[in-house]
Structure 1
Amino acid sequence: MKNRILLTFILSIFCVLQSNAKSKIDTIFAANLRPIGRTLINSQHNLALITSGAHFGFSFKGNECAIYVFITDAGSHNYLQYELDGAYQKRIRIDGSLKEPVIIKADGAGTHHIWVYKATEAQTGSLLFSKIAANNIKILPAPKLPLIEFIGNSITCGAAADDSDIPCGTGDYQDHHNAYMAYGPRVARALNANFILSSVSGIGVYRTWNRDSPSMPLVYENANFQVKDSLKWNFKTYQPKIVSIALGTNDMSNGDGSSRAAFDTIRFVNDYVKFVQLVKSKYPKARIALLSSPMIKGNSREILQRCLSRIKMTIDANYPADKPSATFFFEPMEPHGCSGHPSVAEHQILAEQLKPFFAGLLK
């Protein structure tokens, strides 16, 4: 009789312990996260990170968490990257065939903070998240900080910057993206600001690097930056303090070597002014920053700088009650990333050049 009572007692304790162990694992469904960047919740209640550097945060206790992430194209792949307890970690490849969650491990059983970023641009496709599981998991809201929107091309995306996993000249285009290490996010982190990236590889003000279309004004209002995208972005989602525009590299490019019309300064200036007017219609209180290109040298560099100065004068004259727009001219750079782009290390150089400029605008 005593043995039976003892056995019952032991079993009850075991059940309680097992129940407590199970109760420690919490789940956050991705639709409840609070992301920054162009994102959406799809019909399956998954969170889609669309644009370069779109990100969300959460905290948990223990040694690991499980992130349920996938992409819709079974034959393709994409990348996320993450920050753990304030320190950047690495990129993680997400294959279309992925069935298991991504496990992120931490040292120690204390409380840890994770920020997950999309490493690639919108053209690569969205990263889709269904849920996150961990002990005592909690959503981290976006910090209450000023916001900078960085509009630009592949340089702003952080494209072709990272050959740490796959050498340049091999793999696919997205294999060398690193949005977290691009100049914009670096500047924002250094100046204690939030950021969003609105950038497309090859894009320009009135043409792309090797075609007459599309252009940034044509796709900017579309959520996915696709020409035929019927879903429009809700610009009331954010109200940035600064909108940085870095376009012109691809308008001035010789393209892929095929026949290409000469750079049209008049059209460039006129279309650029119209685009700034479009941006100001979305963000009436934002300060506009016009950035040149570190990739353009010699006479072309002088032409671009004159164009940007003319654009600034026109915008300031058209909006006399607003704070004047600002221009920043990069020093020329010999890039060492993939396909003639700045590397991860060179993005740090660009960010160092830009920090005093943006610090002044944030004041």
Structure 2
Amino acid sequence: MKIRLAIAFVILATGKSYGYKKSTDTIFAAQLKPIGRTIINKQHQLELITSAAHFGFSFKGTACAVYATIAAAGQHNYLQYELDGVYQKRIRIDGGVTAPLIIKADGPGKHIVWIYKATEAHTGAIIISKIAAPGIKSMAIPKLPLIEFIGNSITCGAAADDSEIPCGTGDYHDHHNAYMAYGPRVSRALNANFVLASVSGIGIYRTWNRNGPSMPQVYEHADFQVNNQQKWDFNTYSPKIVSIALGTNDMSKGDGSPRAAFDTLQFVADYVKFVQLVKSKYPKSQIALLSSPMIRDTSNTILQHCLISIKKQIDIIYPRDKPVATFFFKAMDAHGCSGHPSVVDHEILAEELKPFFEGLLKAN
């Protein structure tokens, strides 16, 4: 759907009427109902932290103004949005810019917008202060089952989208597209809510080129930063399913950095402890362990054997809980940037995963 220009709606950015008859209403950040890791900061603004953290609102007319910024002048980040159920595009948000983002519809009437953070937590928060439009109302979070997707850059949708900036140019987060990642795709297809708890380069006991910090070290931190002491409130959501897709970076060769061989014993032991941590936060959730579409041959076999061992150990420790589910991806030739799945590849991954998650949702 193309978005038409509508000069009459300069009102939304300036407050002047320019012949516009209807009144403009405003909702402020604290009135929004987001899903994903977010906070209301000391300035009463909403900070979208994690990949695909999102919120919705409805308005009447042909345009609305979203007041979004980032903390650091001279830097940038990305939102993306859906209008009336149709995905539109990514929008660059520059620090220090005060003019609002104007979203325009094709015609009058009631419209529904969902705003998503396109990038991951480590790129910094996107700050929402208010939204202005005629008849604007905040959308409630749909009453649907929730899936939390824990993972690495693949789960983030990192390096997936080179439609605007070619691979090998720009900044790393210029190619993020969380909306099109496999987790959100699967969730939309199965009519489920989703949150992404994912960090590029992270693993269970080491990262892709360093010894840490690992996911178990940062999972409880609101923004996955090990030095930030603000903890996430795990009472915010109660997922039906927690999907964990880690191991790709533990098995990485280290990008030329000195690297010990992959330690299966440490990987399994640390993974079991991490699943126990997740279960302490979400005791009623179904745990699902996913392999990696980026790992082949012997390494793939090793990872699958590790996941089977982790499942067996967790099922023994929690005999009254739902058994851990496992899913093993087919190996993929990725077409995104720096060896990552592309937007099209994520569609393939989502199609592969849909029957698996559909079965888990029905069973739970």
For residues 81 and 241 of structure 2, the distance between their equivalents in structure 1, rounded to whole angstroms, comes to: 25
Please state if 1:53 is matched with 2:57: no
Runs of 5+ consecutive residues of structure 1 not aligned to the other structure: 1-17
Moved more, 316-325 or 19-28: 19-28
For residues 307 and 235 of structure 1, the distance between their equivalents in structure 2, rounded to whole angstroms, comes to: 27
Instruction: Give the AA of the match of 1:170.
Output: T
Deviation at 1:202, TM superposition (A): 0.2
1:351 aligned counterpart, secondary structure: helix
Higher helix share: 1
Please state if 1:176 is matched with 2:175: yes
For residues 153 and 297 of structure 1, the distance between their equivalents in structure 2, rounded to whole angstroms, comes to: 17
Per-residue deviation, residues 115-141 of structure 1 (Å, max 9, x unmatched): 000000000000000000001001101
Instruction: Give the AA of the match of 1:136.
Output: G
Instruction: Give the AA of the match of 1:74.
Output: A
Please state if 1:229 is matched with 2:222: no
For residues 255 and 300 of structure 2, the distance between their equivalents in structure 1, rounded to whole angstroms, comes to: 20
Please state if 1:294 is matched with 2:300: no
Aligned to 1:89: 88
Aligned to 2:243: 244
Deviation at 1:36, TM superposition (A): 0.2
Deviation at 1:315, TM superposition (A): 0.5
1:1-363 matched pairs, under 5 angstroms: 24-363=23-362
Aligned to 1:11: none
Deviation at 1:97, TM superposition (A): 2.8
For residues 21 and 271 of structure 2, the distance between their equivalents in structure 1, rounded to whole angstroms, comes to: 57
For residues 342 and 21 of structure 1, the distance between their equivalents in structure 2, rounded to whole angstroms, comes to: 46
For residues 302 and 78 of structure 2, the distance between their equivalents in structure 1, rounded to whole angstroms, comes to: 37
Per-residue deviation, residues 224-271 of structure 1 (Å, max 9, x unmatched): 100101100000000000000000000000011121000000000000
- Compare CA radii of gyration and give the structure with the larger one: 1
1:235 aligned counterpart, secondary structure: coil
Instruction: Give the AA of the match of 2:260.
Output: A
For residues 48 and 225 of structure 1, the distance between their equivalents in structure 2, rounded to whole angstroms, comes to: 14
Deviation at 1:22, TM superposition (A): 6.6
2:93 aligned counterpart, secondary structure: strand
Moved more, 188-197 or 254-263: 254-263
User: Normalized against structure 2, the TM-score is what?
Assistant: 0.94
For residues 123 and 211 of structure 1, the distance between their equivalents in structure 2, rounded to whole angstroms, comes to: 16
Over 4 Å off, 4+ runs: 18-23
Per-residue deviation, residues 175-194 of structure 1 (Å, max 9, x unmatched): 00000000000000000000
Instruction: Give the AA of the match of 2:212.
Output: S
For residues 160 and 30 of structure 1, the distance between their equivalents in structure 2, rounded to whole angstroms, comes to: 30
For residues 248 and 74 of structure 1, the distance between their equivalents in structure 2, rounded to whole angstroms, comes to: 36
Per-residue deviation, residues 3-50 of structure 1 (Å, max 9, x unmatched): xxxxxxxxxxxxxxx999676210000111000000000000000000
Per-residue deviation, residues 37-66 of structure 1 (Å, max 9, x unmatched): 000000000000000000000000001000
1:275 aligned counterpart, secondary structure: helix
Q: Percent identity?
A: 74
RMSD: 1.2
Instruction: Give the AA of the match of 2:94.
Output: D
1:257 aligned counterpart, secondary structure: coil
User: Normalized against structure 1, the TM-score is what?
Assistant: 0.94
Instruction: Give the AA of the match of 2:280.
Output: S
Instruction: Give the AA of the match of 1:285.
Output: K
Aligned to 1:13: none
Per-residue deviation, residues 278-335 of structure 1 (Å, max 9, x unmatched): 0000000000000000000010000000000000000011101011010000000010
Deviation at 1:170, TM superposition (A): 0.1
Runs of 5+ consecutive residues of structure 2 not aligned to the other structure: 1-15
